[in-house]
Each structure stands twice: as structure tokens, then as C-alpha cells.
Amino acid sequence: MSTQERKTETIPAWKREEVEDIEAFLDRYDSVGVVSITGIPSQQLQDMRRGLHGTAELRVSRNTLLRRALEETDEGLEQLTGYISGQVGLIGTNANPFTLYQQLEASKTSAPINAGEVAPNDIVIPEGDTGVDPGPFVGELQSVGANARIDEGSITVMEDSTVLSAGEEVSADLANVLSELEIEPKEVGLDLRGVYADGVLFEPEDLELDVEEYRSDVAAAASSARNLAINAEVATASTLPALLGKASGEAKSLGLQAGIEDPDVMPDLIGKADGQVRALAARIDDEEALPDDLQDVDAPAADASTDDQETDDTEEADADEAAEAEEADAEDEDEDDDDNGDGGEALGDMFG
């Protein structure tokens, strides 16, 4: 007989039934966690149960029975037994652990703090009118460390006053002052200690995410990946429209530069030719030499690089014309020399 069988036989029937119910609870959910319920009043705990209805279920029982049920499963849930201490319960959900953590954090509410409790964070009495009439309360405020005085018929806190640091114990006087001011410095809710899902054990620090920042990072990564795929010409359902648009633009630009008479290019070719004609017409001083529809036209606007190129082309043309003129002058001089006496003398030599 195994040790487990002997243990099962020695526990009362009601405990065995409770363990079986907990095991059935564990089997119903994809994610199971341990939550602390310390300090939560019974009424608020019931409200939290109702708030979880439809998304998660809270199961509270004796720690020994919770631990036994976790140990008797064969799915790794026994790892959660390390979180079973104090006032705890099991929580089950079919949502992922991140969603569960966000839900539990969002469900927390503020609550008063009692004398003898430890401050979870710095307790600050804020600056402003307390709404309390002049009386002994001003002395109570001052005794707990608040900078308070009577101002215009009311007790006023003159500046934000830190009256207790995180980790320090709340005194009875401070608890009374906070209650009078309706300051609730602590949060009440189910604190997730650990959750097991898909073979992985998560702790709260693993699940604490800035959702907006995470969403922004994912969007930025997706955008960068798409840009990289477009530049690398990797065809996917996301990049193909952009790649086709880019290829179409490049093909059209090539056709325009090469003067290809394609139906898609013709409008731009005609526009380009029209611009060149107008630019040429604007350079002609004698308007009478131009057709009527080209008289009084202005040259089309061009960017600086085009102007520079046209200037260079004009200078090169002028230089070529000058060189041609010099060559023509030289040929004329040679012809003049041939028409002079040297030619007659050559004929005389030939004929004696």
C-alpha cells in the first residue's frame, strides 16, 4: 500500500470530498493561481467574487486541503504550494495569466487603514481646506505631523504633508485623523502571488506590463519590419501593394526618360515636350518668328539643378559655336591664300 493511499484513508470523508472538489476546480481552468485575501472584509470579498463571475472563479478552503489538492495533480500545479501561507485562495480562469493579473489589479479599491497596520506606501495629507470647523482637530492634525492652521473660518492644511512613511505602523491618532478626512491610503483586492499556465509558473513581476507601451513597441517593430521587407523587396501580403506601386513608379519614370510611346507614359511625355517648347520659345527674342500660341509665353519653372544644367549646356553650345567659327575663319584664310599668286606660279611651272 502506497503512502498516498494510507494518507487518503486516514483523512475524514468530508476532507476527501473537499479535496476532490478542489481537484475538479483545478481541472476546469487553463490558468490557476494563488491569491492573498488578507485584510479583505467578508462583504468586499463577496463583491469581488461577483465581479469575477464569468471570467474567473475564486475558491477558498483550508490551506492544508488546498495544498493536498495541488500535490495530487500531475500537471505541475504542485509548484503553487510554495505560495500557500496565510489567508489565501485559489483562482482559476481560462484567460492567459497576463489578462488575469490586469483584471485583478483593476478590481482593487481604496480602503481606510486601521491602527496597528503597516503603511503600504507613504501617507500624505494633501494641501487645502479640510472642511472642518475650527476646534481641537487642528491640534490633532499638528500632532501627526501635518502643517495645519485655522484660515478664514476653517482648518486648512498649508502644504502637502507626509505623515507616515511606507513600512511604518499606523498609530491610533493617525488612523482617527485619516478617517476624519476620509483618506483611504491602502488598496484592497486580490493580490496574485503566483499563477501556473501552459507548463510555466509566473510571478507578479513577470506579469506586470505597461500595456500601452507594449502595444506601441509592437507597432513600431511591425512598421520597421515592413519597411525592411519593402527595401529588401520581400514580397508578402503586407508589402506587395507597396512593392507594385514602387515598381510602377520606377517603370513610368524610365519610360519618360527614354521617351517610350506607351499609353500610360504619353500624357507625361506630351507635358514634358510642351515644357521644352515653352522653354525654347521663351529664349527667342523675335516674337514675330513664333506662332501666335507661343508668343508672350513664360518659361516653365525649373529647379536649381535644371537651371544649372541648362546653363552648362548653353555655355557648351556657345563654346562649340565659337570653335566652329574659328575653324571656318581658318579655312577661309587658306582659300584666300590659294587664290593669290602662289597658285598662278604653280600653273606656270606646270605648263612652262
Average pLDDT over residues 11-22: 91
Residue 349 has pLDDT above 60, yes or no: no
Residue 82 has pLDDT above 70, yes or no: yes
b/e string for 147-180 if b means 16 or more Cβ within 10 A? ebeeeeeebbbeeebebbeeeeebeeebbebbee
Is the same domain home to 38 and 154? no
Top pLDDT among 191 and 256 is at 191
Q: Domain boundary residue among 183, 199, 223?
A: 183
Whole-number pLDDT of residue 79: 95
264 touches 252 (CB < 8 A): yes
Whole-number pLDDT of residue 149: 92
Whole-number pLDDT of residue 319: 46
Is the same domain home to 31 and 138? no
Q: Looking at 4-8, 337-341, 346-350, which range is the least confident one?
A: 346-350
CATH number, domain with residue 147:
3.90.105.20
Top pLDDT among 288 and 75 is at 75
* 268 located within any domain: no
Q: How confident is the model at residue 294 (pLDDT cuts 50, 70, 90)?
A: low
Is the same domain home to 166 and 67? no
Is the same domain home to 68 and 197? yes
C-alpha cell at 19: 479535496
CATH number, domain with residue 23:
3.30.70.1730
Count how many Cα atoms sit within 13 Å of the Cα of residue 64 in the half-sphere of its side chain.
4
Q: How confident is the model at residue 140 (pLDDT cuts 50, 70, 90)?
A: very high
* 256 located within any domain: no
Average pLDDT over residues 322-335: 51
Q: Looking at 160-164, 198-202, 287-291, which range is the least confident one?
A: 287-291
Q: Indicate the number of domains in the chain.
A: 2
* 304 located within any domain: no
* 179 located within any domain: yes
Is the same domain home to 103 and 19? yes
Is the same domain home to 41 and 74? yes
* 284 located within any domain: no
Q: Looking at 106-110, 214-218, 234-238, 310-314, which range is the least confident one?
A: 310-314
Condensed to tens digits (0 to 9), the pLDDT of residues 202-235 reads 999 999 887 788 889 999 999 999 899 988 888 8
84 touches 59 (CB < 8 A): no
Is the same domain home to 14 and 146? no
Is the same domain home to 101 and 8? yes
Residue 45 has pLDDT above 90, yes or no: no
Whole-number pLDDT of residue 339: 47
Whole-number pLDDT of residue 11: 72
Q: How confident is the model at residue 300 (pLDDT cuts 50, 70, 90)?
A: low
Residue 350 has pLDDT above 50, yes or no: no
Q: Domain boundary residue among 175, 208, 241?
A: 208
Residue 337 has pLDDT above 70, yes or no: no
Is the same domain home to 13 and 89? yes
Strand segments, DSSP code E, in 152-206 are 154-157, 161-164, 186-188, 191-197, 200-202
Phi-psi region of 205 (alpha: psi -120 to 50; beta: other; left: phi over 0): alpha
Length of the chain as a residue count: 352
Q: Measured between alpha carbons, how far is 262 from 260 in angstroms, rounded to an integer?
A: 6
Q: Domain boundary residue among 167, 183, 199?
A: 183
Residue ranges making up the domain that contains 65: 3-108+189-208
Is the same domain home to 7 and 94? yes
Average pLDDT over residues 133-162: 92
* 154 located within any domain: yes
Average pLDDT over residues 51-66: 93
Is the same domain home to 78 and 201? yes
* 332 located within any domain: no
123, β-bridge pairs: 164
Is the same domain home to 18 and 99? yes
Condensed to tens digits (0 to 9), the pLDDT of residues 240-288 reads 899 898 888 888 888 888 888 888 888 888 888 888 887 887 777 776 6
* 221 located within any domain: no
